[in-house]
């Protein structure tokens, strides 16, 4: 029997559903207590004050703590098991970083304080800026973007502003590979650019000949990850950057896959002008169930004055905010996600030169090893050495047994593993994208490969009903049509539906 992932011992027991906090509510109960009002109480007449109380649940503190703890038990996490989730870099998040980020001397700082009062916070931005620029090969960084997609938009707005200031308004086209993340074209459109797709060649890399055909005087720039979304290093990157630069365009590096090359190679040396990084991927800050993240943008010095400001500077041993002259403007109400940035700095300090120099290599080692094992069960999409992630395809299984990538992912859940990323990149049929990260052990990788083999055999059995997977979890596959059609997005909506239908 395959032992399953190291999360297969989880007490994710099925049975009854957890009521909502509203269903647990009972009139007159409360958890909160405040000090008695210590100023003389007066009658305040104001047209905006209401008489009735807010509609909120009434629960005791123990009920509240039990409820949210039970809900926590119904969730998978990095601290419980393995996420081989391609393009997401679900590595271990050091506990130590939590303790620094919880220090009230950081966590309780008000964002509108004058810089004299916040020298520590400014130093955090200054120090991590140095680390990030050295790692990416850039010169200056802004930590305003609160997430990767926001970092992308920042990069594109910088390109736009740069072209405007230099009277090149005719440059309106952003080139994006057909394998790119969906956020790339969405961000380009938001920044007001026209999106032009460039094809991927049979090796899984940017088709240089097609790129030459597309590039012209209207080319504003190219957005690229390297390694690309197929997990392959774009070996012709220097040629690509030459083509774009010769046309007067800028090169934007999407940091989604930065983990593969940390310490080995740098986007700045490849010719990229702008880099966004995802601190929640490469620099191990917790994903928080889908945020908060942080998507700082680093640029070559000629773009420094376009960054979203203010950015931290150090002059005469004092830190101050610098407002870039041609700044695209703010991307966040204050300074971005400070506590996330702080966590990433903690991680960088703990790894230091030794750890960071080898970071990419270990991430690649794990992926290369896992790809070697997985390829014995599921064919890989590309016959090239992978970097930190790789893409496999079950298109043959779909043809022979109607087994889709989706079904393989769902069956893995039963075995204590998170699903790999599925149906991405879009250009690979029935894609399963695996990214093990450097923090998983050889045994876990072996275990995943064996489990996949077991699953693929199991799903091919004659009596298999694919829709039944997963079988051992609190719920099976939810009906996705009901909420989309009837908008059951607020409590009471579903019950109302049951009454009316």
Contacts 24+ apart (CB under 8 A), 394-403: 394/430, 394/432, 394/456, 395/429, 395/430, 397/430, 397/456, 397/459, 397/460, 398/429, 398/430, 400/460, 401/459, 401/460, 402/466, 403/456, 403/459, 403/460, 403/466
Residue-wise over 381-419: b if at least 16 C-beta within 10 A, else e? Answer: bbebebbbbbbbbbeebbeebebbbbbbbbbbbbbbbbb
Of 11, 104, 315, 316, which lies in the binding site for another protein, with binding defined by CB under 8 A?
104
* Site residues (CB under 8 A) for another protein, limited to 206-235: 233, 235
CA 396 to CA 312: how far, in whole Å?
Answer: 54
Does position 455 interact with another protein (CB under 8 A)? The reply is: no
Smallest distance from the beta carbon of 304 to another protein, in angstroms? 17
Q: Contact between 38 and another protein (CB under 8 A)?
A: yes
Q: How far is the CB of 411 from another protein (least distance, A)?
A: 11
Q: Is 329 a binder of another protein (CB under 8 A)?
A: yes
Contact (Cβ atoms closer than 8 angstroms) between residue 347 and residue 94: yes
Cβ 400 to another protein, closest distance in Å? 25
Identify residues 263-282 at the interface with another protein (CB under 8 A): 263-266, 269-270
Judged by DSSP in three states, 224 sits in strand
Q: What is the footprint of another protein within residues 63-82 (CB under 8 A)?
A: 64-65, 67-69, 71-80
Q: Is 378 in the site for another protein (CB under 8 A)?
A: no
Q: Which of 42, 202, 316, 317 binds another protein (CB under 8 A)?
A: 42
Nearer to another protein, 60 or 400 (CB): 60
Closer residue to another protein, CB minimum distance, 207 or 226: 226
Distances, alpha carbon 205 to alpha carbons 28, 177, 301, 332, 497, in Å: 64, 9, 29, 35, 49
Q: Residue 370 Cβ, how far from another protein at the closest point, in Å?
A: 10
Q: Is 461 in the site for another protein (CB under 8 A)?
A: no
- Exposed, middle or buried, 470 (CB in 10 Å: 0-12/13-18/19+)? middle
Which run of H or of E encompasses 164? helix 148-165
Between 65 and 165, CB nearer to another protein: 65
Tokens 């090969």 label which residue? 137
Q: Are 378 and 441 in contact (CB under 8 A)?
A: no
When asked if residue 98 is in the footprint of another protein (CB under 8 A), the reply is yes
* CB contact set of 89 (below 8 Å; sequence gap of 6+): 259, 278, 281, 282, 388, 435, 437
**Minimum separation from the CB atom of position 278 to another protein (A):** 10
Query: Which of helix, strand or coil describes residue 473?
Result: coil
Among 296-304, 391-399, 417-425, 456-464, which window interacts with another protein (CB under 8 A)? 417-425
Distances (CA, A) of 394 to 181, 184, 397: 21, 26, 5
Site string for another protein, 119-158 (x = CB under 8 A): xxx-xx--x---x--xx----------xxxxx-xx---x-
Subset of residues 151 to 190 that bind another protein, contact rule: CB under 8 A:
152-153, 157, 181-183, 185-190
Exactly one of 1, 114, 167, 462 binds another protein (CB under 8 A); which one? 114
**Residue number with CB closer to another protein (396 or 407):** 407
Which residue's CB is nearer to another protein, number 277 or number 337?
A: 337
Of 201, 357, 383, 396, the one binding another protein (CB under 8 A) is 357
Q: Which is nearer to another protein, 458 or 487 (CB)?
A: 487
Contacts to another protein from residues 387-406, by CB under 8 A: none
CB 176 within 8 A of CB 215: no
456 lines the binding site for another protein (CB under 8 A): no
């Amino acid at each position: 029997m395959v032992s399953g992932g190291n999360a297969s011992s989880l007490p994710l027991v099925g049975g009854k559903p957890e009521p909502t906090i509203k269903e647990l509510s009972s009139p007159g109960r409360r958890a909160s207590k405040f000090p008695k009002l210590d100023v003389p109480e007066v009658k305040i007449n104001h047209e905006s004050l209401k008489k009735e109380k807010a509609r909120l649940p009434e629960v005791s503190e123990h009920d509240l703590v039990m409820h949210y703890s039970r809900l926590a038990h119904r969730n998978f996490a990095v601290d419980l098991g393995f996420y081989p989730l391609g393009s997401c870099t679900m590595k271990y998040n050091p506990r130590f970083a939590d303790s620094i980020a919880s220090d009230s001397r950081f966590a309780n700082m008000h964002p509108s304080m004058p810089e004299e009062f916040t020298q520590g916070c400014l130093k955090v931005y200054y120090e991590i800026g140095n680390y990030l620029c050295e790692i990416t090969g850039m010169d200056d960084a802004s930590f305003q973007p609160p997430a990767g997609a926001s970092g992308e938009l920042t990069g594109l707005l910088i390109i736009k502003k740069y072209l405007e200031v230099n009277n090149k308004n005719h440059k309106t086209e952003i080139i994006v590979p057909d394998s790119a993340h969906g956020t790339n074209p969405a961000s380009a459109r938001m920044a007001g650019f026209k999106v032009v797709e460039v094809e991927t060649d049979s090796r899984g890399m940017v088709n240089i000949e097609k790129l030459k055909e597309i590039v012209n005087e209207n080319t504003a720039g190219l957005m690229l990850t390297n390694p690309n979304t197929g997990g392959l290093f774009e070996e012709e990157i220097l040629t690509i950057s030459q083509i774009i630069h010769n046309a007067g365009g800028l090169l934007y590096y999407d940091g989604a896959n930065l983990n593969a090359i940390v310490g080995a190679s740098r986007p700045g040396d490849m010719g990229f002008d702008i880099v966004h990084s995802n601190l929640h991927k490469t620099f191990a800050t917790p994903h928080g169930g889908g945020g908060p993240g942080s998507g700082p943008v680093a640029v070559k010095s000629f773009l420094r004055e376009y960054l979203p400001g203010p950015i931290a500077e150090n002059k005469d041993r004092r830190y101050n905010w610098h407002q870039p002259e041609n700044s695209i403007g703010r991307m966040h109400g204050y300074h971005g996600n400070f506590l996330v940035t702080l966590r990433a700095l903690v991680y960088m300090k703990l790894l230091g030169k030794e750890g960071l120099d080898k970071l990419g290599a270990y991430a690649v080692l794990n992926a290369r090893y896992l790809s070697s094992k997985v390829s014995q069960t599921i064919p890989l999409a590309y016959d090239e050495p992978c970097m930190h992630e790789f893409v496999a395809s079950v298109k043959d299984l779909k043809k022979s047994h109607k087994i889709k990538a989706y079904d393989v992912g769902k069956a893995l859940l039963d075995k204590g593993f998170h699903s790999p990323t599925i149906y991405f990149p879009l250009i690979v049929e029935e894609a399963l994208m695996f990214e093990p990260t450097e923090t998983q052990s050889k045994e876990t990788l072996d275990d995943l490969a064996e489990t996949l083999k077991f699953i693929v055999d199991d799903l091919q059995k004659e009596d298999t009903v694919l829709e039944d997977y997963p079988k051992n979890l609190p719920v099976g596959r939810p009906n996705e049509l009901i909420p989309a059609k009837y908008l059951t997005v607020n409590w009471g909506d579903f019950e109302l539906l049951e009454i009316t239908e």
